[in-house]
């Protein structure tokens, strides 16, 4: 018996045991796979599959991975046929297809009654939690229903009160816990030298000022900090504002002129997106770190505008990967564009001296403007915009965070100045953080040998991000409740984790943002991963499609 006759014979047997809907799905899958087995038909067939079409600007990598996916399907079919389990395999696939169709219908209906994208997410979450969806309920009502439900269960993971933050273990919800999502990557939040300089500055300048910097609120201390930031990043000058959010938003507003166009990574921080909206700029978003898609958009739209900018982050804070600066710079040069980098999570982490993405790639001056915050490695508060002297001189009247906001308090400025001095004079901190990041990331990936031998692979978390960053994204696909449950169990064991959900990350990929710090010991990291795996096993969660 040849493959074709045996294959369709088994399908015919399957038709007698599956219902009509299943039968139709099986026929589609079966015929498609058989055509694929017979050679070049596979490529054409793949183009007919839902969600797989791609335009001419897509890279060859996409088509190769798509063809690889189809080859994997074919292999499973062949193996199942040889083992005599073909009908069982097709039945499982059909069951999955039915679940997906039901989920798609549910999503369509919820989207139709939602008031916004956020509201749509909240309605999905209510369906997932099996909470009643009332006719005409508003976005606020949907959100509060979810919040109160999880609070009643004692697992609401947000706005938890944390005390004793300068200790190795914070106090949270009655538990002493080690912060494992802290963004004080170099542990300067604990450093007494930083605290001392901050207090001294507050005593010298007071806790406030007589007005915004434009009108009586400027001080020599702020100018000293601006010069220090410029030197840190190899720039001529800087502007300091009260928060990182205002720095990023304000830089975009200052950059934009009528007739300009912006291209931004679709994982950009909300602060830069806010700048896009406030400025009124025309913006095209490219797929995350996808240079082929960026260039496709640039080819299509760049020529219609005067000046053009590409906005990227050095380290994407919820994903743990870095922007491919050499490729971005190449595209910028090719099409006469400029680059703005958000260094919030790269400062103090990337590069031998912690100078960020440019140092990491040995490309000094590759960015035209750098923005960021002092709230991460510098263990303070405030934001910066650094560039050439002409651009910075232009910022004072043209950045909302400077013109219409109070100045950065002296306490924060004094502390950050000392943090920059420590980062520059103690590069061993940066190196220790880098080594801990690599060790912890690899340990989390492997599970440290703590997964039970028979534990299903599809129930394990996955890890995202690049080895060179301190952000380690631990993802539980399609199961935000499992993320919340695991976080609660980890807190009881003495670990404080940040739960991340949409819109801070993709809808189907809720996660923990685990971070590595310079002060971790190997024993601490080993203990953490052991508890993470054990809590993941103890909280099995549920499939999104099953819940709907």
pLDDT in tens, the chain (548 residues): 454 455 445 544 444 444 444 444 444 444 444 444 444 333 333 333 333 333 333 444 444 555 666 777 788 888 888 888 888 888 888 887 887 788 888 888 999 999 998 899 899 889 988 999 999 999 999 999 999 999 998 889 899 999 988 888 999 989 999 999 999 999 999 999 999 999 999 999 988 888 889 998 999 999 999 999 999 999 999 999 999 999 999 999 999 999 999 999 999 999 999 999 999 899 999 999 999 999 999 999 999 999 999 999 999 999 999 999 999 999 999 999 999 999 999 999 999 999 999 999 999 999 999 999 999 999 999 999 999 999 999 999 999 989 889 999 999 999 999 999 999 999 999 999 999 999 999 999 999 999 999 999 989 999 999 999 999 999 999 888 899 999 999 999 999 999 998 888 888 899 999 999 999 999 999 999 999 999 999 998 765 545 54
H or E element, residue 152: helix 139-153
Which of 312, 318, 362 shows the shortest CA–CA distance to 339?
312
Which structure tokens are listed for 148? 């109160």
Residue finishing a domain among 425, 459, 486: 425
ω before 503 within 30° of 0 (cis)?
yes
Determine the distance from the C-alpha atom of residue 512 to the mean position of all C-alpha atoms in its chain, rounded to a whole number.
10
Q: Which domain holds residue 463?
A: 162-183+429-547
The answer to whether residues 110 and 124 touch, using CB atoms and an 8 Å cutoff, is: yes
433/391 same-domain check: no
Which of 34, 148, 23 shows the shortest CA–CA distance to 93?
23
Determine the distance from the C-alpha atom of residue 520 to the mean position of all C-alpha atoms in its chain, rounded to a whole number.
23
144/288 same-domain check: no
CATH of the domain at 499: 3.90.1150.10
In a domain, 234, yes or no: yes
Question: Phi and psi of 38, rounded to 5°?
Answer: -90, 30
Give the count of beta carbons closer than 10 Å to the beta carbon of residue 63: 15
The answer to whether residues 263 and 286 touch, using CB atoms and an 8 Å cutoff, is: yes
296/393 same-domain check: yes
Give the Cα separation of 217 and 196 in Å (integer).
23
Which structure tokens are listed for 219? 């001080």
Classify 285 as helix, strand or coil: strand
Classify 495 as helix, strand or coil: strand
- DSSP character for 287? P
In a domain, 52, yes or no: yes
456/396 same-domain check: no
Domain count, the chain: 4
pTM: 0.82
Give the Cα separation of 374 and 228 in Å (integer).
13
Half-sphere exposure of 453 (CA within 13 A, CB side): 0
Classify 88 as helix, strand or coil: helix
Between the CA of residue 325 and those of 261, 269, 330, 363, what are the distances in Å?
A: 20, 17, 8, 8
SS3 content of the chain, % helix, strand, coil (to 5): 55, 10, 35
448/386 same-domain check: no
404/471 same-domain check: no
């Amino acid at each position: 018996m040849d493959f074709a006759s045996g294959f369709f014979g088994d399908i015919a047997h399957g038709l007698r045991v599956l219902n009509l809907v299943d039968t139709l799905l099986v026929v589609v899958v079966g015929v498609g796979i058989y055509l694929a087995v017979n050679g070049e038909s596979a490529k054409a067939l793949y183009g007919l599959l839902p969600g797989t079409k791609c335009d001419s600007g897509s890279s060859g990598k996409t088509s190769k991975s798509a063809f690889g996916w189809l080859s994997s399907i074919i292999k499973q079919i062949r193996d199942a046929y040889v083992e005599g389990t073909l009908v069982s395999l097709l039945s499982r696939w059909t069951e999955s297809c039915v679940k997906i169709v039901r989920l798609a219908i549910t999503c369509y209906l919820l989207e139709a009654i939602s008031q916004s994208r956020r509201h749509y997410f909240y309605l999905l979450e209510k369906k997932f939690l099996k909470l009643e969806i009332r006719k005409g309920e508003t976005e606020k009502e949907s959100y509060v229903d979810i919040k109160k439900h999880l609070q009643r269960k004692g697992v609401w993971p947000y706005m938890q009160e944390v005390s004793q933050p300068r200790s190795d273990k914070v106090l949270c919800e009655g538990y002493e816990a080690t912060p494992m999502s802290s963004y004080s990557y170099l542990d300067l939040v604990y450093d007494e030298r930083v605290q001392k300089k901050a207090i001294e500055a507050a005593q010298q300048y007071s806790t406030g000022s007589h007005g915004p910097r434009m009108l009586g609120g400027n001080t020599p201390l702020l100018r000293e900090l601006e010069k220090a930031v410029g030197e840190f990043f190899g720039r001529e000058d800087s502007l300091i504002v009260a928060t990182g959010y205002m720095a990023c938003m304000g830089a975009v507003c200052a950059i934009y002129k009528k007739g300009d166009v912006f291209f931004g990574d679709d994982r950009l921080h909300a602060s830069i997106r806010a700048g896009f909206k406030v400025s009124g700029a025309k913006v095209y978003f490219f797929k995350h770190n996808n240079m082929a898609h960026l260039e496709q958009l640039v080819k299509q739209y760049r020529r219609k505008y005067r000046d053009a900018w590409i906005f990227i982050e050095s380290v994407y804070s919820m994903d743990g990967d870095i922007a491919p600066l050499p490729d971005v710079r190449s595209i910028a040069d090719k099409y006469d564009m400029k680059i703005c980098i958000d260094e919030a999570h790269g400062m103090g982490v990337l590069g031998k001296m912690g100078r960020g993405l440019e140092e990491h790639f040995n490309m000094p001056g590759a960015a035209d403007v750098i923005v960021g915050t002092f709230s991460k490695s510098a263990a303070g508060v405030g934001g910066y915009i650094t560039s050439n002297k002409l651009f910075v001189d232009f910022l004072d009247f043209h950045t909302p965070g400077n013109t219409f906001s109070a100045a950065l308090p002296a306490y924060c400025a004094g502390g950050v100045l000392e943090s920059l001095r420590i980062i520059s004079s103690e590069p061993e901190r940066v190196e220790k953080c880098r080594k801990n990041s690599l060790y912890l990331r690899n340990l989390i990936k492997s599970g440290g040998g703590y997964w039970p031998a028979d534990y299903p692979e599809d129930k394990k978390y996955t890890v995202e991000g690049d080895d060179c960053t301190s952000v380690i994204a631990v993802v539980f696909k399609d199961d935000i409740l499992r993320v919340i449950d695991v976080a609660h169990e980890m807190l009881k064991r003495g670990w404080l984790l940040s739960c991340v959900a949409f819109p801070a990350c993709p809808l189907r990929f809720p996660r923990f943002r685990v971070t590595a710090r310079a002060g971790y010991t190997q024993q601490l990291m080993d203990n953490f991963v052991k508890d993470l795996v054990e809590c993941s096993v103890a909280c099995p969660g549920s499939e999104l499609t099953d819940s709907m």
